[in-house]
């Protein structure tokens, strides 16, 4: 049950786009279309932003998008806004268990 690999940090200026990667294996990310992404502010509970690789729950801005290629999933935030500054975690179903990435701190410069 190894954690998925995310970069510890990412940054961008307001209006720019940023992509956060999430690398796993063929037993998790590559084996299922069940990758999800979560946004977490300090001291708060995580919030679902993307599920099933690229689907957005209602209420999530369309600036957030997800994709997957092989064993790597990605979250792209377009048109960065100050309120996007938060920690982001990916997760994948791995067959009777779930794994998370280590998290990426997104800074809006």
Partner 1 sequence: QVQLVESGGGVVQPGGSLRLSCAASGFTFSSYGMHWVRQAPGKGLEWVAFIRYDGSNKYYADSVKGRFTISRDNSKNTLYLQMNSLRAEDTAVYYCAKDRGTNSFDPWGQGTLVTVSS
Site for partner 1 in 35-54 (CB under 8 A): 36, 38, 40, 45-48, 51-52
Minimum distance from CB of 12 to partner 1 (Å)? 21
Minimum distance from CB of 39 to partner 1 (Å)? 11
Indicate whether 7 belongs to the interface with partner 1 (CB under 8 A): no
d(CA 18, CA 3): 22
Which of 95, 90, 96 has its CA nearest to residue 28?
Answer: 95
Minimum distance from CB of 4 to partner 1 (Å)? 10
Identity of the residue, 13 or 96, whose beta carbon is nearer to partner 1 in the bound complex:
96
Q: Report the residue from 84, 91, 106, 108 that binds partner 1 according to the rule CB under 8 A.
A: 91
Is residue 74 a contact partner of residue 66, using CB atoms and an 8 Å limit? yes
Residues at the site binding partner 1, with contacts judged by CB under 8 A: 1, 3, 32, 34, 36, 38, 40, 45-48, 51-52, 55, 57, 89, 91, 93, 96-103
């Amino acid at each position: 049950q190894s954690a998925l690999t995310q970069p510890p940090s990412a940054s961008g200026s307001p209006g720019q786009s940023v992509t956060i990667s999430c690398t796993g294996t063929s037993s998790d990310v590559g084996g299922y279309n069940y990758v999800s992404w979560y946004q977490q502010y300090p001291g708060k509970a995580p919030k679902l932003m993307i599920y099933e690789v690229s689907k957005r729950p209602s209420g999530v801005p369309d600036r957030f998008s997800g994709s997957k290629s092989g064993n790597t999933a990605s979250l792209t935030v377009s048109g960065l806004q100050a309120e996007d500054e938060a920690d982001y975690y990916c997760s994948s179903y791995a067959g009777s268990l779930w794994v998370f990435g280590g998290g990426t701190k997104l800074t809006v410069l």
